[in-house]
Structures are given as structure tokens and as C-alpha cells.
Amino acid sequence: MPRILPGETDIYALTDARLSLGRPVLEVARALLDAGVRLLQYREKRLPAGAMLEECRELRRMTREAGACFIVNDYVDIAMLVGADGVHVGQDDLPVPEVRRLVGPGMIIGLSTHSPEQARAAVASGADYIGVGPIFATQTKEDVVAPVGFAYLDWVAWHIRLPFVAIGGIKAWNAADVAAHGADCCALVSELVGAENIGAAVDKVREAIKAGKAARG
């Protein structure tokens, strides 16, 4: 199975059926994969478990064919059932050591973090990568914490050696700034799944990240 971590690729795309202009998740995922996205997370909250399982089974097939890494948000059981490459959990979900007991040594575990203390704890817990954010205000996630801005991102870039992905309110117009502050990988939702032309949106974000990384000197 593909084991691609943030930093080994520049764009981490998340699904969200509510923001996909009425298009099915599988159609949007196909467009993302065709555009070269190699790190895809399934993040759907409003479907019955059986429906999520069926979508994830198909996404597992699609990502495997594309050579992409497939991550399931929150649902450790579904990730295990479909043979996903990884699972992503939040601060209020199962602790990383307990997730590891369930999924075994081979599956990627990502953990959302919002502070230096949480980042240090994530490293100690055995997480494979961390989410850093929300960098900016975002409406794509319910019960989201306040934006952390660039201060926490700067801190992680300097102090944490674990792979990380910046997330939260990232768009094509601000992705260069995020990359300039140390993020080699940016997670995006509405900017990609809500685009009329997903391929063009991916290209635009990718160029912005490239420019931001170049600006680091």
C-alpha cells in the first residue's frame, strides 16, 4: 500500500460532500486523483456507517490504482475494514496509542494539533504525522478551535521533526504564505472540492505552494 506522508507530497485533499457543488464524492475524488493528488482523506460526517463503508471501499480501489495514499478521518473501524493506508484522529478521539493497538504497526496515524503542548504529546504518542491548525478561520469543520495563525506553524517548523500538514482556511491566494512559513504540505477542502474545474484548482494551489517554498531562500 502507498505510504505517503505530508512533506513527501504537497497537497493533502479532504472530501466534503456538502461543498462539492452537488457532485458525488467519488466523482470529486476521481478528479482530484486525475489532477495528481496523492494524499486523499475521506472526511464525511453525515452519512450512515454502511454508506461510508461502501464509499471508502471504492475510494480504496481508486487510490490504489492511482498510487495514492488513502486516509480515513475518525472512523478507525472503517479504515481497517477497507484496508486504508491510514487514519486521522483529533484531540477528542481515541488516543493514538489505543488506535495503534487496533490498527497495528503498518497503518499511518495522523493527529490534529493546535498547540506546542499537543505537538510534543503527538510525537511522544507515536503519531506518524500531525495536522497543524487551523491556520485561518474555517467553516468546513464543525466545533473547530480558534485559528492558530502563523505563530504555531512557525514553532512546529522549527521544533518538530515529525511530518506535518498545515490545515484550516487555506486557499490558492494564501497557500504561498503558508508554505513560506515552513509548510511543505497543505490540506485543502473547499478550495478543491468546491471548484468548478478541480484540475485547474489543484494546479493553482500547487504553484502557490512551490512559490512559497522558494521564498524561504
Determine whether 141 is an active site residue: yes
pTM of the model: 0.96
In this predicted structure, what is the pLDDT of residue 1? 61
Catalytic residue among 20, 38, 60, 112: 112
In this predicted structure, what is the pLDDT of residue 46? 86
Determine whether 18 is an active site residue: no
In this predicted structure, what is the pLDDT of residue 207? 98
Fold of 11-214: TIM Barrel (3.20.20)
In this predicted structure, what is the pLDDT of residue 172? 98
In this predicted structure, what is the pLDDT of residue 192? 98
Catalytic residue among 20, 38, 43, 204: 43
Determine whether 57 is an active site residue: no
Question: Tens-digit pLDDT profile for the chain (217 aa)?
Answer: 678 999 999 999 999 999 999 999 999 999 999 999 999 999 998 899 999 999 999 999 999 999 999 999 999 999 999 999 999 999 999 999 999 999 999 999 999 999 999 999 999 999 999 999 999 988 766 667 889 999 999 999 999 999 999 999 999 999 999 999 999 999 999 999 999 999 999 999 999 999 999 999 6
Cell 475524488 belongs to which residue?
29
In this predicted structure, what is the pLDDT of residue 45? 85
Domain locations in the chain as residue ranges: 11-214
Using the CB atoms, write b or e for 1-19: b if 16+ within 10 Å. Answer: ebebbbeebbbbbbbbbeb
In this predicted structure, what is the pLDDT of residue 40? 98
In this predicted structure, what is the pLDDT of residue 2? 73
Rounded CA separation 77/80 (Å): 5
Catalytic residue among 20, 38, 60, 141: 141
Write a three-state SS string for the chain: CCCCCCCCCCEEEECCHHHCCCCCHHHHHHHHHHCCCCEEEECCCCCCHHHHHHHHHHHHHHHHHHCCEEEEECCHHHHHHHCCCEEEECCCCCCHHHHHHHHCCCCEEEEEECCHHHHHHHHHHCCCEEEECCCCCCCCCCCCCCCCHHHHHHHHHHHCCCCEEECCCCCCCCHHHHHHCCCCCEEECHHHHCCCCHHHHHHHHHHHHHHHHHCCC
In this predicted structure, what is the pLDDT of residue 17? 96
